[in-house]
Amino acid sequence: MYDFQYHRPASLADAAKLLQSAGDDGKLMAGGQTLIPTLKQRLAQPSAVIDLGGIKDLAGIKVDGNAVMIGALTTHSTVASSKDVAGKIKALAQLAEGIGDRQVRHCGTIGGSIANNDPAADYPAAVLALNATITTNQRKIAADEFFKGLFETALKPGEIITSVSFPVPEKAAYVKFPNPASRYAIVGVFVARFGSGGTGGGVRVAVTGAGQGGVFRAHKIEEALSKNFSAKAIEGLHPPASSLNGDIHASAEYRSHLIGVMAKRAVAAAG
Amino acid sequence: MPTVNLTVNGKAVSANVEARTLLVNLIREQLGLTGTHVGCDTSQCGACVVHVDGKSVKACTMLAVQANGSKVTTIEGLANGDKLHPMQEAFREHHGLQCGFCTPGMVMSAVCLAKGHPNLTEKEVREGLEGNICRCTGYHNIVQAVLAGAKAMGG
Amino acid sequence: MAPNDVGSTGIGASVRRREDRRFLTGRGTYTDDINRPNQTYAWILRSPHAHAAIKSIDTTAAKGAPGVVAVFTGAELGKFGMPCGWLVTGKNNTPMVEPKHPALAEGKVRHVGDPVAVVIAETKSQARDAAEKINVDYAPLPAIMDMKAALKGGGTPVHDAAASNLCFDWELGDKAAVGAAFTKAAHVTKLDLVNNRLVPNAMEPRAAIGDFDRATGEHTLYTTSQNPHVIRLLMGAFVLGIPEHKLRVVAPDVGGGFGSKIYHYAEEAIVTWAAKEIGRPVKWTAERSEAFISDAHGRDHITHVELAMDKDGKFLALRCETLANMGAYLSTFAPCIPTYLHGTLLAGNYATPAIHTNVKAVFTNTVPVDAYRGAGRPEATFQIERLIDKAARELKMDPAELRRRNFIKPSQFPYQTPVALVYDTGNYDATLDQVLKLSDAAGYEKRKAESKARGKLRGRGLASYIEACGIAPSNVVGSLGARAGLYEAATVRVNPTGNVTVFTGSHSHGQGHETTFAQVVSDMLGIPMDQVEISHGDTNRVPFGMGTYGSRSLAVGGTAIVKAIDKIVAKGKKIAAHMLEAAEADIEFKNGKFQVAGTDKSKAFGEIALAAYVPHKYPLDTVEPGLDETAFYDPKNFTFPAGAYVCEVEVDPETGVVEVQSFATADDFGKIVNPMIVEGQVHGGLVQGIGQALLETCVYDKDGQLQSGSYMDYTMPRADDVPSFKVAHSVTACTHNPLGVKGCGEAGAIGAPPTVINAIIDALSEFGVTHIDMPATPNRVWKAIQDAKAGRH
């Protein structure tokens, strides 16, 4: 990798300042599990890397009323093994348990994953399907407003994710069809049903790994499930291949088909 | 150049590194602990796995400066003098290695996986080792070794 | 244990490996672990284009970059051509086209990854930083990618010397007899197959360190090689012009090879030459992504194969047309893989009376292709065993029965095949019976029903295989175009106090020779194993060696050790006869003792050793002092390991995901020295074979860019992709080596691919699917089901 200035601020305010002063070439680093491989391949050349790992209060899990709040620097393994997460949103713990491998999960963080918005990452599906709220050092952003396209988010320059708050659904499940080589999602479908008393009620379904523009909501599947929450109700429903990615592992047609299958399996798993 | 202070295999070490120096480069090149290997450049193979503060991590996917202040254990620090760690002994007993290149990372991952879990199942071992690639053994004997090693560690 | 009791460590015992302690404690010494004083680091700039003319190279900025010691290009290193070690002669006595393979590109690049320049700097990062400052002006040319299109010619060929990109057009067998047999066949089965290109992916990336001693004029090359003497010969004599006595090649601990570390690579010559040029050691270590575009690949055949049978399913004739991809240049042994290691194996385990094969080798703008675990034999086995399976389906016969009906029977050995080889021994029914039992053939229908209840399709696949290993008689391979002998050498040095150092030309890079060879020596000399040291991998220590590949180490290298021990024992008898005042003919050597037959008069091995080095009471007029013997062993024939495999798979019809549920093997490797190590070799081979069948492949786009160029896209089998295995053996001892061994290193990789694919076809047969290409990825399986349902097959 190219060399860079390394900073490890102890506070969020210092991190924001450093990010500001680094200008366009500054990069935030959380767990580094995506950034470091990118740097190793010389696909990015930041002038400065600002390591958020020194900011202690960014990690942690809190149950707050009918929501689970996860600090941006909480690792995947912490989420996967959290009793609070498992008790409230088991699907989220299971999703975290399926990211990368154990070593990656010991380092990788939810904040890093979401800020990067890799189209094949798992967390964006949970954020979108669970209608999470992303809190930054500047504001709160609704999930539907957050993901803007491949590797693009609503985050502004200088903005740092501090936590993600997930409303507790009545039922939820995430089913992933992993890329056999990288283990990223070829298709991952997160299905969540909220009771009428929750955040507006209804069913939200988010798909990762397949969309040309990154994670997206499968509205037709949502509508069908809202009327009848069963795998049968969505038989044959899947987004058209024309809107999906194809690569050497899975054609767009195959991905389209898989979305339907994974969605059905997620509904079945959600119970 | 940034300075990093670490405890490696129980010994305090200090080194000046470029910010871009990976933990694995510090370990191999500056500390001369060449048991930790590099088998890929995309953070997949796991030949570089070490323990940082007790957890298995890929030393090729962590900057040396990130590990500042941490306790690092490498494969060289696992045995107690001449007495092999129970997981090392299990790999030997069950022929869980051939060329030996993936072995240090495999053993370090296995130790972390088995900690607190003496009664792992075959499925748990296979899934728990998904971040470590071996080209020689076909995994059969590695799985046997980890099951036995976990038992011998007693959790 | 009595001092000479080697029962627990002798031949046949699963002795735990002696090399493990150093590997398990991080104290192995691989090439990249070695650092030489004042060492520099090399970074190779590689072509980003598959096919392009180089108009100019400007290295000015790179030469001025921080830390840079030197920059070299084809201007300095293009004059060195990498040699090919095997000349294949095609039809009409036409020799293969053998284009120059420059160490650094000269005027043209021919594959993505073709080395163009080398930067040598104080650190690896500086070398890589500076390499980005080299300005190469390329004029891209259309890439020659598709073998069939390549042979039609047109456009700029890969090499001017081969206008239609044909390297050779080779045939073997009696074409007329085959043609006649086909005309009277009751049934003909035909199949088109692709044997997918694989990347060997030994976990240790290649590395090389060049060092030059100005005082002695000696070059040293540390390298990740399976055969350091072969590298010394090729690089010294044919590339750099360095005589052997001034060139030392060391292959220390090597982290896997699988064929990919047989060959002499340009980087070895570059660092060796550059170390002298700049007066400092030069180290180069490949990145994994670099390995993908610079290590020789494996397989990559397109084949049409046909089988003629009579009305009872008896094989009458087989014919096979293959296109074999050579890649952009001829790697060291590339031409012999699709010919002498493939065409000659087309009889398989069967008494097919007539066989003809034609192989066209083609240049393309891809990484060179050479031997990878199995090398030619997996391709042959895949063709035969897929074809027989298809034939059994067409004839509605039990695939085991069809095989049985055509097996070469034990009474037929030695068996002359119609494709040159003479099989010495075997019992194919025995391994088939064994594997059917081991895999619980009887319980299959019940398991299939259970799978079905879970919505899964279960399939069961069977394949037999044979391989020619232990290569090879030198006079035979010499007549077939090999430019080297294929013997092996060993020195057994008995030290004065009776312990033994063995120097072997075989090289261990995972096979456990330090254990297996020591078992043989310990067993034969009757001394404890810890009195035996095995030394390998250094041309300055070992007399000579052809190295380790083709499952030859024990059969050829081990036999060389046995021959050297025979000489030791013969000499020991002379010494003992003198000391015991008996006739030499009356001395027998047993359990570590030289004994006068029928008496209790004896001398221990250690006493004889001491006498040889302290020859006070010694037959000096007839016997030299010392006890140190070297043997070169050239095998009389290939060895022929064979076996039968069964696997069961479950297919998820909704997603196309295939899971290998069980895998059972029955191999005949001849006699076995260390069953634990042999089983480990089988396991490893199986997973490489399952990897080929289900996961691994090289995908190039039409412009010659490698799409599967890292572990992000090239699917390496992981622990959760495969099951545990059931492994069994039966033994017919090899008839022409003293150990009776045949070799076990490649079997799994040869037998597994057709076994897995046959199982998948069995599972999908209800849809009418008759064939699927490897790797049978979920997408491919799903599409095959869709196409079959839609009547598109």
Residues A150-195 have pLDDT tens digits of: 999 999 988 999 999 999 999 999 999 999 999 999 999 999 999 8
* Subunits adjacent to chain C (3 or more Cβ pairs under 8 Å): A, B
Q: Does residue B99 carry a pLDDT above 80?
A: yes
Class of domain A1-50: alpha beta
Residues A202-253 have pLDDT tens digits of: 999 999 999 999 999 999 999 999 999 999 999 999 999 999 999 999 999 9
B112 in A contact zone (CB under 8 Å): yes
The residue type found at A251 is S
DSSP secondary structure code for residue C94 in this structure: P
Delimit the domains of chain A by residue range: 1-50, 171-270
**Same fold for the domain at A1-50 and the one at A171-270?**
no
CB C366 within 8 A of CB C428: no
Quickly list DSSP for A158-213. Answer: T--EEEEEEEPPSEEEEEEEE-TTT-SEEEEEEEEEE-TTSSS-EEEEEEESSBTT
- Alpha helices by DSSP H, listed for C25-142, are 60-63, 74-77, 124-131
What is the three-class DSSP state of B72? strand
Contact C711 A177 (CB under 8 A): no
Give the pLDDT of residue C551: 87
Give the nearest partner residue to C779 out of A2, A182, A254, using CB atoms.
A254
- The C-side interface with A (CB below 8 A) comprises 125, 129, 289, 654-656, 695, 699, 707-708, 711-716, 721, 777-779, 782-783
List, in order of start, the domains of chain C with CATH numbers: 20-28+487-633 (3.30.365.10), 34-141+203-256+261-292 (3.90.1170.50), 301-472+637-789 (3.30.365.10)
Quickly list DSSP for C682-701. Answer: HHHHHHHHHIIIII----B-
Cα separation, B60 vs B65, whole angstroms: 13
Contact B61 A39 (CB under 8 A): no
CB C286 within 8 A of CB C294: yes
Residue A44 tokens, joined: 């990015």
Residue C443 tokens, joined: 């319980």
The residue type found at C83 is P
Residue (of C541, C539, C521) closest to C531 by Cα position:
C521
Distance from CA of A257 to the nearest CA of C (A): 8
User: What angle is formed at CA C497 by the lines to CA C494 and CA C500, rounded to 5 degrees?
Assistant: 30
Residue (of C766, C1, C7) closest to C393 by Cα position:
C766
> Mean per-residue pLDDT for B21-37?
97
Q: Is the peptide bond before C414 cis (omega within 30 degrees of 0)?
A: yes
Per the listing, tokens 């795998």 go with: A231
Contact C30 B142 (CB under 8 A): no
> Tell me, which fold does domain B86-153 have in CATH?
DNA polymerase; domain 1 (1.10.150)
Cα separation, C102 vs C96, whole angstroms: 18
Delimit the domains of chain B by residue range: 3-76, 86-153
Per the listing, tokens 């590797």 go with: A151
Contact B43 A104 (CB under 8 A): yes
CB C48 within 8 A of CB C106: no
| Cα→Cα distances C325→B63, C168, C363, C483, C772, Å | 42, 11, 6, 21, 21
- Mutation target to probe the C interface, by most C beta carbons within 10 A, among B9, B136, B146, B147 is B136
What is the three-class DSSP state of C95? strand
- Mutation target to probe the A interface, by most A beta carbons within 10 A, among C655, C715, C774, C789 is C655
Give the pLDDT of residue B36: 98
CB C430 within 8 A of CB C730: yes
Contact C708 A258 (CB under 8 A): no
Cα four-point dihedral sign A26, A30, A34, A37: positive
How much is the pTM?
A: 0.97
Give the pLDDT of residue C78: 94
**Nearest 10 degrees: Cα torsion C666, C670, C675, C679:** -40
What is the three-class DSSP state of C354? strand
For residue C759, the number of C-alpha atoms closer than 13 Å in the C-beta half-sphere is 32
Q: Which helix (H) or strand (E) holds A235?
A: none
Per the listing, tokens 């070169």 go with: C632
Cα separation, C46 vs C290, whole angstroms: 9
Report A:66-105 residues touching B (Cβ under 8 A). Answer: 77, 100-104
Which chain C positions have a beta carbon within 8 Å of A2's beta carbon? Answer: 129
Q: For residue A157, what are the contacts with CB-CB under 8 A and spacing of at least 6?
A: A19, A20, A24
Contact C510 B99 (CB under 8 A): yes
Quickly list DSSP for B105-141. Answer: HHHHHHHHHHTT-TT--HHHHHHHTTT---SSS-SHH
B139 in C contact zone (CB under 8 Å): yes
Which chain C positions have a beta carbon within 8 Å of A250's beta carbon? Answer: 778-779
The residue type found at C324 is A
B130 in C contact zone (CB under 8 Å): yes
Distance from CA of A97 to the nearest CA of B (A): 11
Distance from CA of A51 to the nearest CA of C (A): 22
Contact A104 B131 (CB under 8 A): yes
Residue (of C322, C313, C323) closest to C350 by Cα position:
C313
Residue (of A174, A180, A247) closest to A210 by Cα position:
A247
Q: For residue C333, what are the contacts with CB-CB under 8 A and spacing of at least 6?
A: C84, C85, C86, C262, C263, C370, C371
Residue C194 tokens, joined: 């692709």
Given a cut of 50, the residues of chain C with pLDDT beneath it are 1-5
Give the pLDDT of residue C2: 38
Buried b (16+ CB within 10 A) or exposed e, C668-707: bbbbbbbebbbbbbbbbbbbbbbbbbbbbbbbbeeebebe
Give the pLDDT of residue C8: 85
CATH superfamily of this structure's domain A171-270: CO dehydrogenase flavoprotein, C-terminal domain (3.30.390.50)
CB C706 within 8 A of CB C293: yes
Give the nearest partner residue to C715 out of A177, A180, A261, using CB atoms.
A180
Distance from CA of B69 to the nearest CA of C (A): 24
Contact B19 A39 (CB under 8 A): no
Query: How many other β-carbons are positioned within 10 Å of the β-carbon of residue C621?
Result: 5
Residue (of C729, C754, C195) closest to C461 by Cα position:
C754
Minimum CA–CA partner of A40 in chain B: B41
Give the pLDDT of residue A198: 44
Q: Phi, psi at residue A81, to the nearest 5°?
A: -100, 5
Q: Predicted ipTM? A: 0.98
Q: Phi, psi at residue A269, to the nearest 5°?
A: -70, -30
* Subunits adjacent to chain A (3 or more Cβ pairs under 8 Å): B, C
Residue C491 tokens, joined: 């020195």
| Cα→Cα distances C511→B15, C465, C552, Å | 38, 22, 11
Report B:78-117 residues touching C (Cβ under 8 A). Answer: 78-79, 84, 88, 91-93, 95, 97-104, 107
Residue C253 tokens, joined: 């601990």
How many B×C Cβ pairs under 8 Å?
A: 178
> Tell me, which fold does domain B3-76 have in CATH?
Ubiquitin-like (UB roll) (3.10.20)
Helices (H) and strands (E) in chain A, counts: 11, 14
Contact C203 B45 (CB under 8 A): yes
Bridge partners (DSSP) listed for residue A175? A189
Cα separation, C792 vs C63, whole angstroms: 60
Residue (of C701, C743, C706, C751) closest to C725 by Cα position:
C751
- The A-side interface with C (CB below 8 A) comprises 2-3, 41, 177, 180-182, 248-251, 254, 257-258, 261
> Mean per-residue pLDDT for A117-129?
96
Report C:511-540 residues touching B (Cβ under 8 A). Answer: 511-512
Residues A24-34 have pLDDT tens digits of: 889 999 999 99
CB C685 within 8 A of CB C747: yes
Q: For residue C445, what are the contacts with CB-CB under 8 A and spacing of at least 6?
A: none
